[in-house]
Amino acid sequence: MVEATGSSPNTAPATGGAVRRLMRATEVDTRLLGMVGALAILWIGFHIMSDGLFLTPRNLWNLSVQTSSVAIMATGMVLVIVARHIDLSVGSLMAFVGMIMGTVQVNLLPQLVGFDFPLTWVITLLIGMALGAAIGAFQGYIIAYLGIPAFIVTLGGLLVWRGAAWWVASGQTIAPLDSTFRIVGGAPNTSIGATASWIVAALACVGIVLGILGGRRQRRKFNFPLRPIWAEIVLGAIGIAAVLGGVGIANSYGWPKGLVRQYAQANNIPEPDFIATGIAVPVLIALVVAIVMTFLSTRTRFGRYVFAIGGNPEAAELGGIATRWVTLKIFVLMGILVTISASIQTARLNAATNALGTLQELYVIAAAVIGGASFAGGIGTVPGAILGALVMQSLQSGMVLMGIDAPLQNIVIGSVLVLAVGLDTLYRRQSD
Amino acid sequence: MADQQSPLVEMRNISVAFGGVHAVEDVTINLFPGEVVGLVGGNGAGKSTLMKVLSGAYSRDAGKILIDGKEVTIENPRDAKALGIETIYQTLALADNVDAAANVFLGRELLTRWNTLDDVAMEAAARQVIGRLNPSFKNFKTPVHSLSGGQRQAVAIGRAIHFNARVLIMDEPTAALGPAETAQVTDLVKKLSDEGIGIFLISHELRDVFDLSDRISVMKNSRLVGTVFKKDVDEDDVLGMIIGGKHPGVPEALTSGAALATEAAATA
Ligand SMILES: Nc1ncnc2c1ncn2[C@@H]1O[C@H](COP(=O)(O)OP(=O)(O)O)[C@@H](O)[C@H]1O
Ligand SMILES: [Mg+2]
């Protein structure tokens, strides 16, 4: 309801053909649909231009893992931008939180409780979350209660936390990390495997069906018009097909040969031909974050207030919303999401470095903006931000597959960012 | 209501300054249950600022506010709403990017038993309260920025009356409305004051003010010129107060608390 939908009930219904009718009946966000279309074109284009390397289980699996960290932060950044703020500190904050979590699990906890303590990863994550939340609250407090613009506060944060990350270990890299903690990084042999992936898929499908049924029941209770049954079925079928297709691809990607051999030797079994990888742990985390953040932003008071503040900060305050408190909470949330991404990236590298997350703030902001967040405030969606992250990562890995140099990659990504926002602005101007 | 001694609202010696600008200086006004007090004055006289102090949007530099004879602290709009003071702002103050129901319930959302937003229930309630003002209102699913002036006004009014207000502040509520919609608002004011709600009505339309008010308070250059009973004056008297700042010499309708209470009860 808070998302800007392209079609409104009072526009002339006679014009437009079957597609329009389908979109009206299903009430889908036309903007989001446009992004899915753009992504499809991008993927097919890369597939052709890379001689069939792009749309392979291996590449798509890697793409999903590489996207997860930026996507997780983008779900928070979209709320920051919706509320008319910005957070430039996320890349540096990642490094600082990552260094602290590295120190805790490598230097601090082994001294206190010894190596191979089974709860090391839990304690590390809890300390990281608390730190991320506290730093978010600190920056949010300065922004919300002292009235210093977020741009300035988080620009300061960008410098401060990068410097602090260096101080944690005087610039040294902390490695190797706790073996359990490393699972969140997402290697093929620590992914959840075929069976668990199908269970996740089944749960998601049940969730889709229950969501549709619940929505209908609620509307019937108040005698509101229902969507046509066929539209519900189309929507549900598309959702279920997407879930099953995604999981099918993840399951058709097998462990690399080296890992299979190691595994066979370690377990003293003959080398199997194929071990299905399934959904990677960071992707699973990103999916959970996506669901939680979508829920927060569309189904809770907090989310409603974030959008109301972005639409008209003065009206929100006059309407009785504690706008400063809400603003502070947005930055706390951002800090927690940064910690999750920091965990994924350090675990993936199997090291904490003070250079972690360099320039990530720009990718995160770009993902949110490509996903439809507007700096004018009040507009943006969590699914859009995730799609935005996927577009950015697709561009990057597609160009890598095509053998395009890094400088040219940057030029392309920068141009796409401006182009995407430009097109969106034109589209909005027209549909208003 | 005849035994009502203390006013519902009393604003005593209120002053507000913005930097060097004295927007309101030493103004005292009051309001009884079921009474409509018209607040009039030229542009920039300080009417909106005075009312925004009562609704918690501005903080005062001096003076106090009493509700039911007891001093209260109103530091933000939440405090005012908690005391049953609802406001229809001159600018409407709507959250433009969310729909009508979200605006009606802004800050006071209905929740399901899972503590999630109950959008369907809110839409149902919004349909009722807005339908009372504007039966042809249909666009419950669109962000309010795409609505017409009259429809936006209906949303703002709906928000103010849905929560059983005791005090209603209406700052130029008919400015954006056509004749039919204005008539609906006029009816609504009468109905609400019959229900015992006290209403401060700011309007440029002296005709509406005379039609609806029991008393009229006039401001000029951030000060109160005076408060008069409607029955004691005609439009020319009030125009003289607004433009010339001169009191028509009829009995002052603010000072005699007990007499006022009887008066309010009689006219209600
Ligand atoms: N937020 C504000 N900041 C600075 N000056 C203000 C503000 N609000 C009102 N004023 C000033 O206070 C005076 C009274 O304004 P206002 O209360 O809006 O008058 P009215 O509603 O009677 O037209 C004007 O001079 C106006 O410019
Ligand atoms: Mg005014």
Residue B106: inside a domain: yes
Residue B48, ligand 1, Cβ within 6 A: yes
Does A270 lie in the same domain as A173? no
Q: Which of B55, B95, B123 sits opposite A312 (nearest CB)?
A: B95
Number of domains in chain A: 2
Residue B44 beta carbon below 6 angstroms from any ligand 1 atom: yes
* Span B149-164, pLDDT tens digits: 889 999 999 999 999 8
Q: Same domain for B77 and B109? A: no
User: Could you tell me the pLDDT band of residue B263, with boundaries at 50, 70 and 90?
Assistant: low
Contacts of residue A5 in chain B, CB cutoff 8 Å? Answer: 141
Q: What is the CATH number of the domain that holds B228?
A: 3.40.50.300
* Interchain CB contacts (distance < 8 Å): A and B: 108
Chain B contact for A432 (CB, 8 A cutoff): yes
Task: Quote the pLDDT of residue B3.
Answer: 43
Indicate which CATH number applies to the domain containing A392.
1.10.3470
Domain region containing A266: 189-279
Q: From ligand 1's centre to the CA of B57, what distance in Å?
A: 13
- Find the CB nearest A300 among B103, B117, B145: B117
Residue of A318, A321, A429, A430 best to disrupt the B interface, most CBs of B under 10 A: A318
- Overall domain count for chain B: 2
Q: Cα separation of B262 and B268, whole Å?
A: 10
- Can you give the residue range of the structural domain that contains B237? 9-84+166-267
- Tokens of residue B267, six digits: 């006219």
Q: Stretch A10-32: mean pLDDT, rounded?
A: 66
Question: Phi first, then psi: what are they for A117, rounded to 5°?
Answer: -70, 125
pLDDT higher than 90, residue A421: no
Closest listed residue to residue B59, CA positions, set B33, B31, B24: B24
Which listed ligand is nearest to B24 at the C-alpha? Answer: 1
Reported ipTM: the value is 0.89
> Ligand 1: does its nearest atom lie under 6 Å from the Cβ of B238?
no
Same domain, A177 and A326: yes
B188 with B133: CB under 8 angstroms?
yes
- Residue A152 inside a domain? The answer is yes
Residue A120, Cβ neighbours under 10 Å: how many?
A: 24
First to last CA, chain A: 17
Q: Domain for residue A122, yes or no?
A: yes
Give the total residue count for chain A: 432
| Separation in Å, CA A68 to CA A45, A404, B186 | 22, 23, 57
CA nearest ligand 1 atom 8, residue: B49
For B173-191, how does the pLDDT look when each residue is reduced to its tens digit (9 = 90+)? 988 788 888 888 899 999 9
Residues with beta carbon < 5 A to ion ligand 2?
Answer: B 48, 90
At B261, the pLDDT band (50, 70, 90 cuts) reads low
In sequence order, what are the beta bridge partners of B227? B217
Nearest C-alpha to atom 3 of ligand 1 is from which residue? B18
- Give the pLDDT score at B260: 53
A228: which DSSP letter?
A: P
As a whole number of angstroms, the distance between CA A65 and CA A397 comes to: 12
C-beta B262 within 6 A of ligand 1: no
- What lies within 8 Å, CB to CB, of B135 at 6+ separation is none
Residues A387 and A409 in one domain: yes
Tell me the DSSP string of B9-30: EEEEEEEEEETTEEEEEEEEEE
Q: Ligand 2 centre and the CA of B224: distance in Å?
A: 15
| B124 and B141 belong to one structural domain | yes
Q: Which of B164, B197, B221 is the last residue before a domain boundary?
A: B164
- Split at pLDDT 50, 70, 90, the class of B5 is low
Of A247, A279, A311, the position where a domain reaches its end is A279
H or E stretch covering A66: helix A57-82
Ligand 1 close to Cβ of residue B217 (< 6 A): no
Distance separating alpha carbons of residues B268 and B260, to the nearest angstrom: 12
CA B228 to centroid of ligand 2, rounded, Å: 21
Closest residue by Cα to atom 6, ligand 1, is: B18
Average pLDDT on A104-112 reads 92
How confident is the model over A265-286, as pLDDT tens digits? 999 999 898 999 999 999 999 9
* Whether B171 and B132 share a structural domain: no
A262 plus A272 within the same structural domain: yes
Tokens of B78: 């939440």
Q: Does A58 touch chain B (CB under 8 A)?
A: no
Distances (CA, A) of A389 to A32, A70, A333, A346, A368: 13, 6, 18, 19, 7
pLDDT tens per residue, range B15-39: 999 999 999 999 999 999 999 999 9
Tell me, yes or no, whether A93 and A223 share the same domain: no
CB atoms within 10 A of CB A421: 17
The residue from B164, B183, B206 where one domain ends is B164
Mean model confidence pLDDT for chain A: 91
pLDDT surpassing 50 at residue A80? yes
Asked whether the beta carbons of residue B96 and residue A304 sit closer than 8 angstroms, the reply is no
Where residue B1 falls among pLDDT bands split at 50, 70, 90?
Answer: very low
Ligand closest to Cα of B89 equals: 2
> Do the domain assignments include residue A23?
no
